Amino acid sequence: MSTEEKIANSTSVASYQHARQVSERLHADIALNPSRYRMLTGDRPTGHLHIGHYFGSLLNRVALQNQGIESWILVADYQVITDRDGTGPIQERAYSLVTDYLAAGIDPEKSTIFTHSAVPALNQLMLPFLSLVTDAELRRNPTVKSELEATEGRPLSGLMLTYPVHQAADILFCKANIVPVGKDQLPHLEQTRVIAQRFDKRYGRPEGSDSPIFPAPQALLSESDTILGLDGTKMSKSRGNTIELRMSADETAKKIKKAVTDSDRHITYDPINRPEVSNLLTIGALASNSTPETLADEIGDGGAGTLKKVVTEALNEFLAPLREKRSELEKNTDYIHTILSEGIERANEQADKTLTEVRDAMHMTY
């Protein structure tokens, strides 16, 4: 490892440790003062939500919503075309996301669900925000950098290059001050804070206001265990290694039956040396309110067959209420459309208000 790489790695570790400390303080204060916070979170409608989304983020969103935090949940449809040549069945997938949200416990009375393509003023924020970042900064963003490396000579789209700025617009238009993220998304949030601070420094504030237009949003780091795909690699809709929330109990059983394990009949929780077995134990533990170690001890010498049977039964029992509610929601497409339409209306009201403040600060109100 070169000196530059060592410095970069050290900086990354220090940044993460600081973010973790801030996140812990936020969690403590949220429990006491939830009304101080506004949350923005969301998903790209590139496929159907799976158990990785559920255990990794959806459960946390519902908990934060129920604590009294004002929640804004984005169906990030424009982001689908950052790295794709078309939109695919995007409308179907967007409605599927909303259905999953409601089935998981997102309450449209407490949370605003919207698509950013339907909020013109949100996207107009991209213009002044782009004046606040450099080409070099964008290319250093880990998501953009990895996408650039993966293109193998294919030109990077302008939308992919400016993806971090679009994310900033998503967060700042509603003035969210907390964003639930994983470790890999921390650079996006840092870029958002930089944009908020630079806007205030360069363009100022609306006449008569002593406060910046945009808050400096903080990361609320996920506390959940990472769930791998059933093949032992990263769980991903594109890899087909997921268990979707909309799947039936039988479909779930078939998926788990094909999951990768190993030849050792004695079941132990060892994420380093036995990642596939440990992953199934993690899923089973999350679904049964247990621990992977306890589950491993209970299975003992039962082998992969018993492990898969235990995990299947636990997961299907755990997801049964969600799936029943989802099935009912799927029969009422008018209701899903109404919830999304109402969310889009609220998002437009907020975005128009924010854009008016921005134009005022920039002396562009005519």
In this structure, are 326 and 336 located in the same domain?
no
Task: Yes or no: say if 39 and 64 are a contact pair by the CB < 8 Å rule.
Answer: yes
Domain assignment present for residue 302? The answer is yes
In this structure, are 109 and 69 located in the same domain?
yes
Q: For residue 307, what are the CA distances in angstroms to 25, 50, 294, 301? A: 38, 20, 12, 10
Task: Yes or no: say if 94 and 44 are a contact pair by the CB < 8 Å rule.
Answer: no
Average pLDDT, the chain: 90
220-265 confidence digits (pLDDT tens)? 987 776 788 888 888 877 777 889 999 999 999 999 999 999 999 9
Q: Which domain holds residue 314?
A: 237-330
In this structure, are 89 and 206 located in the same domain?
yes
Please report the pLDDT score of residue 237 as a whole number: 72
308: CATH: 1.10.240.10
Domain assignment present for residue 17? The answer is yes
**What is residue 176's three-state secondary structure?**
coil
In this structure, are 219 and 281 located in the same domain?
no
Distance of CA 131 to the CA centre of its chain: 27
Domain assignment present for residue 231? The answer is no
Instruction: Count up the domains in the chain and report the number.
Output: 2
101: CATH: 3.40.50.620
Task: Kindly give, in sequence order, each residue whose CB lies less than 8 Å from that of residue 223, ignoring residues fewer than 6 positions away.
Answer: 60
In this structure, are 216 and 264 located in the same domain?
no
Strands (E), the chain: 38-43, 70-75, 111-115, 178-181, 218-221
Please report the pLDDT score of residue 153 as a whole number: 65
Domain assignment present for residue 45? The answer is yes
Side-chain-facing half-sphere of 77: CA atoms under 13 Å: 20
Domain assignment present for residue 152? The answer is yes
In this structure, are 124 and 250 located in the same domain?
no
In this structure, are 188 and 72 located in the same domain?
yes
Q: What is the mean predicted confidence (pLDDT) over 352-362?
A: 96
Domain assignment present for residue 230? The answer is no
Domain assignment present for residue 64? The answer is yes
